[in-house]
Structures are given as C-alpha cells and as structure tokens.
Amino acid sequence: MTDYLISGPAIYTEHDVLCDHFLTTHQGLIQGISNKKISKSQRVLEFPNNYHLVPGFIDLHIHGANGFDVMDGTPEALWGMKKALAAEGVTGFLATTMSASHTEIKSALQNIQETMQKQQASQGAIILGVHLEGPFISAEKKGAQPADFIVSSDQSYFKKLQAFSNNTIKLVTLAPEIENIIELVHYLKQQKIIASIGHTNATFTETMQAITEGCTYATHVFNAMRGIHQREPGAVTAALLSNEVTTELIADGQHLHPAIIELILRLKPIEKTILVTDAMRAKCLTDGTYELGGQSVSVISNKATLKDGTLAGSVLTFPQAIKNMHQWTTYSLSQLFKMTAENQAKLLGLFHQIGSLQPKKMANLVVLDEKLNTVFTMIAGEIVFNATGRF
C-alpha cells in the first residue's frame, strides 16, 4: 500500500484548523499531522493552500444515487452507489431501506450484508450498516413511503429482519404512537441499535415517552412529523427540546426553510445536529422521471416529488449541503464539518476509527476546493476519487 504526504490545504482536526501543515498516511491510517515533513518515503500530494482537507463525510440517510437504489436489491446497485458517493466525498454511509414487501426488504438486507462482506476501500464509500426507515411508521405521516407495506410494531418481525441483515441494522426509524412500539424501542436500546423518531403523528406526550424509553434520534426533523401547535407541541417540539435527541437535517432548501434551520440550531448544540442527504436514485442525474418504492418521482430543478406533490427524498450532495449551511447560518466551516463526519461517527460508536483527522484513525479524508467542491477522496489510505488531474 502506498503511503502519502498531503500538503497545501488547511487541515481541519477535531480542535483546530491547521495551515502550513502536512498530513501523512501509513498502511491506510493517518500517521501524523505536522509542520515538518515526517518522512521522504511517502508519495507527495500537493494542493493549493486555499483548499480544505476534512474528514470523509458520513451519510446516515441515503437511499440511492446515480440511477441506483438500495431497494434494487442487487450488488450492482450498491457498487454503483458506493462509487458515486465517493465522488462527492462520502467515505461511509448507512444503506437506507424503506417500507416494502417482506420479500423486497429481505432481498435488500441480504444484499447489503453480502456486499459489506466483500467491500474494499478502493471500490468506493464503505457501507457501515443499515438504516431501516420503515415499515414501523405512521400511515398518516408516510411521506413518500408506500402505504401498503406499513406494518404495526412487531419485535419478532424486526428480529427476522435483523437476522436477514446479519446484524447490520444500526438505526431504525419508527413512529412512537404505534401500539407496542415501546417494546421494540427497549429491544433496540438493549441491542445498541439507534431508535429514531420519524414518519410520525405522535403527540408531544407520546414522543417524550419514547425518548424517555430510549429514542435518541430524529429522522429528517420537521418532515413527515407532527408539527408545532401552541396547544399540542407535537413530535417536533419534543425532539428539539430533548437533550438526548440528535436531529437530522436535510439542507437542500426544499425540506427545510433556512429560518427553520436557524431555529433548530438555536435549540440544538452542534454535537446534536447531523447533516444527511436522504437522496434517491436521481442524485447525480438530470431532471426527469424516476422510481422510488414502486412510485413515479418527478425531479425538476433539484426537487423530487410524487405526483401529488409530496417530497420524495432529495438529490442533494454533501458539498451542496455544506455550501447551503455556510450561506444560511453563521457557523464556521470547522463547525459544519462536525455535522458531516464527527457527530455521525460518535453516534455509530465508530469515532475511535473514523470521523476526524487524528493519528491512528483510518485515512478517510476529502479535499474541497475554494468553492467547497470535492476534488479528492481517500478511503483507508486508498485514492478513490481524484478530479484534480495532478496525480
């Protein structure tokens, strides 16, 4: 394996932004960060000093990209997604399913776990596990999820799904108001699986109970979720006011108005805020008609909708999400990069391996140009995307 020395860009570590420093890799890990060249044996990768070297992005909510979808249930779909995501700087992701027939979910889960067993860093973004979005959700707040396949809470059914996945389900979106859902929440907590509030019409009281019992995450907060009313604060208020809950934001300008993002950020600290894309197969492609869960989706001017106008995921990339947040908020780039990698890694219990640029962690890193476009992606010390033409 080639060892590298990266010079030029500002380096965003956990605590500082370092200029005029070098980052070196050795055997797929970050060897060190110094203002002196550590060794002459590495291959030098030199970038302009107005570029940014940041931790590889981690997407906890992604259905598809570049014409592929997790629910296709084929190896080709996941390999295609992995390659496309690496090109935008995503180095790890949770393959996200949706409500579907038992056969379709089984096929998707088995395909994910088989692909995970074979994947290598050089082949693109690493699948870190599964985000099971549905089928334990509310029909009233289904969003773009097919209503025919929504089911009531069933712990035994979840155990079957987890078996199909070979224990790779890491996050489950569920509706707190569903009968017997607390039993499932207890089980997820016991198994150290993240229980997330989402696609829910739960009241404030129902949501607070679910949080007390173990829900620690909120899927695309505000979207497909009972909103705020002065006499019934709803699920949104419960998620925003609870210190235990990490909120997931889709910063595409379609799912959340910038003022709502500002409201969320005033209530939630940086470490409890995560950027995701919730992207579907049309990401990386042109406007047109696509498919999601057997439903026709129209994409026009970066907005994906069903025939009735319901938002159907997004076509958002991580660099665009960062650009939007940088424009809409007062947060620094250093703060925003915590929302794209560090917080995700901590939530998954993987921060000892990934999520920041620190020695002995995996060399999962991204170089952004002065306009915050991805020009270079490295995963476990392997170059998987290089748009510079320099190397």
CB 94 within 8 A of CB 60: yes
SS (HEC) of 254-282: CCCCHHHHHHHHHHCCHHHEEEECCECCC
CB 163 within 8 A of CB 132: no
What separation in angstroms does the CA of 202 have from each of 129, 181, 193, 330? 27, 12, 21, 32
- Reduced to 3 states (helix: H, G, I; strand: E, B; else coil), residue 189 is helix
**Residue 89: CB partners within 8 Å, gap ≥ 6?**
56, 57, 318, 319, 366, 368, 374, 377, 385
Decide if 278 is catalytic.
yes
Catalytic hit among 3, 69, 252, 278 = 278
Question: What ranges in the chain are assigned the alpha helix state H?
Answer: 75-86, 102-118, 155-164, 181-190, 204-213, 234-241, 258-267, 318-328, 333-337, 343-347
Which residue numbers are catalytic? 278
